[in-house]
Structures are given as structure tokens and as C-alpha cells.
């Protein structure tokens, strides 16, 4: 009975909560939302609206001080929604049964993650052995947004950020083709009497299609490649006339590179390392000052010469070719990105909180595919293959 009055006092102190009489104010799960500390990462994993949904169902939510400020959400908004604010990241990790994040934990977060704690975020294990080994040592349950997969092969938690990254790749590409930014000084859409820039997009998934739409809208001469003929047929039917399709092969890519100004790499194999489709030798085919944007850098990159960069230092040059390989492109537009991401992740977060991760994954095969590491064991085949580790069966 004392627990009832304790939980009832929580409600009285947070009048924005909507009491659920069926739960009798019981707290089902303790959820932590830490502030993202990756370079120039201003997104937040749960909005105040998401907090309100969680607390309405009887869960307790702790949000780190200023976690949402980069996306325009103040501590006051979280408090009104029913969250409690904690001053430090260590406090959030220490109290939470489930951590909800945006980006993978970085080195200073590794020791804060404990055994049996659920961590729900983007991980991209196949591109980071140190992270993989750290999460194995932690004994945590690591559920990766990027490998949650529906029966139709869609990746519902990757799609919104792929849409943002695809559109941003053209926006950033246009910027870094400017001469003051190190580019050759080309306007993407050209002007009357001057040809537009040529854009080559490798991969016609969500990123590639969104990049093509943006580039076409700016008036560029766009070519998009893929190995799926049905995909290319669909693109040919729905895209503007300045978007052309091309079957993806080494020969065709090499043929396009000499007069291409901007190359977008957008190839994805869910949970696995991206294939290297443009090699170091192929850079010699390109003109100095042209630009490559590697949107696949989270999964290791699809250009052989790609190395992850940050928004504070986004580009570098190899053989006169400008490389843009920011690993969290959507972090540059955090308000849009946070809203888009949480629209997709919140239903899964609610399911995990309401049912516990095992039952939630037992009932939803798409969510079960998101489980990558459990209590020190890799259970996702592509991650095990990437680092030559044993792959264990996921037991629910």
C-alpha cells in the first residue's frame, strides 16, 4: 500500500501526467535519456511528447539536464511532460533500466553501461570493433535501430534519418563545391547558357532516392545507379526527366567519374560493412576539386579512401578530390531530425517499456532483428561476420 501512495505522490508532483487507473500508478520501467555527447550531435532520443506517452503508461523517465536543448526542447518542457531532470550523464546511466539514445555510445560512456541494461540506439557495430567489444564486455542488451527490419525488408528506424541524410548530402555537396570551401567552384543547377553540375548517386535506396530528388530539384544533371532493375525501372517512372538511371557496375561507375562533379555514396547492407565501390585508383579518373559524399560512412563507407569526419571538420582532400564523410549528417538539422526519428522510434520504445525486451521481441520479429548483442554474446550474424566472432542464437 505504501508503494501506491509513493507512486500517487509522483503524480501529484507532476500534474501533467495522465493517470492510468488500470496500472494503479505503478512504475513499470525506469527509462534514461542521456544527452548526446558525440561531436556536434544535437539530436535527442525522446521528445517531451514521447516522455508524456511513457509516463502515461506508468513508466518513470529521467532526462539529463539540457539533453533536448539542441533540438529546441527545454528542461522545463520535459518536466511538464512528467520527466525528472538529472544533472549528469553518470546519474542517468546509473538509475535507468533502459537507455534510449540517438547515436552509439562513445568511449567515456562504455564504463557506465551495465549488465542487463537495455540500450536502444543506432550502433553500427560492423564499422567499429572497439564499440562492439566494449558492449560485449558490458553484458548489456544492445538493440540497434538500424537493423530493425519489417517483413517487406524496409528498415523503419533507419528510413527517417536516411531521408534526412540523402537530402542533406546534396545540400552539403552544393556547399563544398563552392571555391571558398575548396571545391572547383560549380553551381549545382548551372544558369542559362552554362551546363549544370553532374551528380552521380551510387545506390538507389532511401538515401539515394532522396538525394536524387534534391539534386534534380536544384537543376543538376543526375545519374543514379543500382543493381536492382525493378528499382531502376520504378525510379525512371517517377523521377524528374533530369534523373537518369544506370546499372551499377565497376565499368559503368568508372565511365561516369571523369565528368562527374559530385558523387554520393549511399549503399547499404543492413548491419554489415558497406562494400567499397570506389577505390583509391579510381580517384585519378576524377577532376581536381570535385567532391565525394560518403553517406555510408556509419557502416564503414563505400569509398576506399573514406575516413569518418565531424561537422566541425567535415572535409579532407586526397589526390585533389574533396571527401565529405560526416558520420552523423542529420545532426546538423537536429530539430527536423529529432522529430522525424522519434516519430519512428517511439512505438518501439513503448513496446519495449510495456512488455520488457524479451516479450516485445518475441511478439515482434522486426524488433527482434534489432537485437545485436545480448549479455556478452553477438546474436546478429552480420556483426559476428564483420569481426570474425561467434554468432549465437537469440533466445527469447
Distance CA 129, CA 132 (A): 5
Q: Which residues pair with 98 in a beta bridge?
A: 31, 118
Q: Which residues pair with 377 in a beta bridge?
A: 374
Exposed (0-12), middle (13-18) or buried (19+): which is 230, by Cβ within 10 Å? exposed
Helix ranges restricted to H, the chain: 2-13, 48-56, 75-81, 89-95, 129-138, 159-176, 206-217, 229-238, 250-256, 334-355, 357-363, 365-368, 381-386
Distance CA 312, CA 361 (A): 38
Q: Which residues pair with 30 in a beta bridge?
A: 60
Q: Are 109 and 37 in contact (CB under 8 A)?
A: yes
Site of grid cell 533536448: 68
Kindly report the number of other CB atoms within 10 A of residue 248's CB atom.
18
Residue 25 φ/ψ region, left for φ over 0, alpha for ψ in the -120 to 50 degree band, beta for the rest: left
Per 3-state DSSP, the chain is made up of helix, strand and coil in percentages (nearest 5) of: 40, 15, 40
319 is a catalytic site residue: no
User: Would you give the DSSP letter of residue 310?
Assistant: B
- 108 closest CA partner among 32, 30, 36: 36
Q: Which residues pair with 118 in a beta bridge?
A: 98, 141
116 is a catalytic site residue: no
Given the residues 59, 124, 128, 261, select the one marked as catalytic.
Answer: 124
Catalytic residues: 124, 298
Amino acid at each position: 500500500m505504501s508503494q501506491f501512495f509513493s507512486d500517487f505522490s509522483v503524480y501529484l508532483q507532476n500534474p501533467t501526467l495522465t493517470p492510468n487507473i488500470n496500472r494503479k500508478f505503478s512504475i513499470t520501467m525506469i527509462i534514461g535519456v542521456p544527452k548526446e555527447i558525440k561531436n556536434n550531435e544535437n539530436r535527442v532520443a525522446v521528445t517531451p511528447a514521447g516522455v508524456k506517452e511513457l509516463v502515461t503508461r506508468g513508466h518513470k523517465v529521467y532526462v539529463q539536464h539540457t539533453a533536448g536543448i539542441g533540438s529546441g526542447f527545454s528542461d522545463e518542457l520535459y518536466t511538464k511532460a512528467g520527466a525528472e531532470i538529472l544533472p549528469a550523464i553518470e546519474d542517468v546511466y546509473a538509475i535507468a533500466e533502459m537507455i534510449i539514445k540517438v547515436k552509439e555510445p562513445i568511449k567515456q560512456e562504455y564504463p557506465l553501461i551495465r549488465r542487463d541494461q537495455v540500450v536502444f540506439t543506432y550502433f553500427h557495430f560492423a564499422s567499429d570493433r572497439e564499440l562492439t567489444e566494449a558492449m560485449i564486455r558490458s553484458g548489456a542488451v544492445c538493440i540497434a535501430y538500424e537493423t530493425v527490419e519489417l517483413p517487406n525488408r524496409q528498415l523503419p528506424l533507419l528510413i527517417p534519418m536516411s531521408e534526412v541524410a540523402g537530402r542533406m548530402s546534396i545540400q552539403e555537396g552544393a556547399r563544398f563545391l563552392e571555391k571558398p570551401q575548396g571545391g572547383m567552384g560549380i553551381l549545382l543547377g548551372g544558369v542559362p547558357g552554362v551546363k549544370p553540375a553532374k551528380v552521380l548517386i551510387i545506390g538507389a535506396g532511401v538515401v539515394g532516392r532522396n538525394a536524387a530528388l534534391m539534386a534534380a530539384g536544384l537543376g543538376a544533371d543526375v545519374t543514379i545507379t543500382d543493381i536492382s532493375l525493378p528499382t531502376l525501372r520504378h525510379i525512371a517512372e517517377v523521377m524528374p526527366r533530369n534523373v537518369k538511371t544506370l546499372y551499377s557496375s565497376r565499368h559503368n561507375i568508372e565511365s561516369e567519374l571523369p565528368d562527374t562533379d559530385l558523387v554520393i555514396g549511399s549503399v547499404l547492407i543492413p548491419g554489415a560493412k558497406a562494400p567499397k565501390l570506389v577505390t583509391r585508383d579510381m580517384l585519378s579518373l576524377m577532376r581536381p576539386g570535385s567532391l565525394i559524399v560518403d553517406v555510408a560512412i556509419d557502416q564503414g563507407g563505400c569509398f576506399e579512401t573514406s575516413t569518418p569526419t565531424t561537422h566541425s571538420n567535415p572535409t579532407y582532400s586526397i589526390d585533389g578530390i574533396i571527401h565529405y564523410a560526416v558520420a552523423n549528417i542529420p545532426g546538423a538539422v537536429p530539430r527536423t531530425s529529432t522529430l522525424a526519428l522519434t516519430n519512428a522510434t517511439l512505438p518501439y520504445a513503448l513496446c519495449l517499456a510495456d512488455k520488457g525486451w524479451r516479450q516485445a521481441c518475441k511478439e515482434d520479429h522486426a524488433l527482434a532483428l534489432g537485437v545485436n548483442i545480448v549479455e556478452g554474446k553477438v546474436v546478429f550474424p552480420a556483426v559476428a561476420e564483420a569481426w570474425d566472432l561467434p554468432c549465437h542464437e537469440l533466445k527469447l
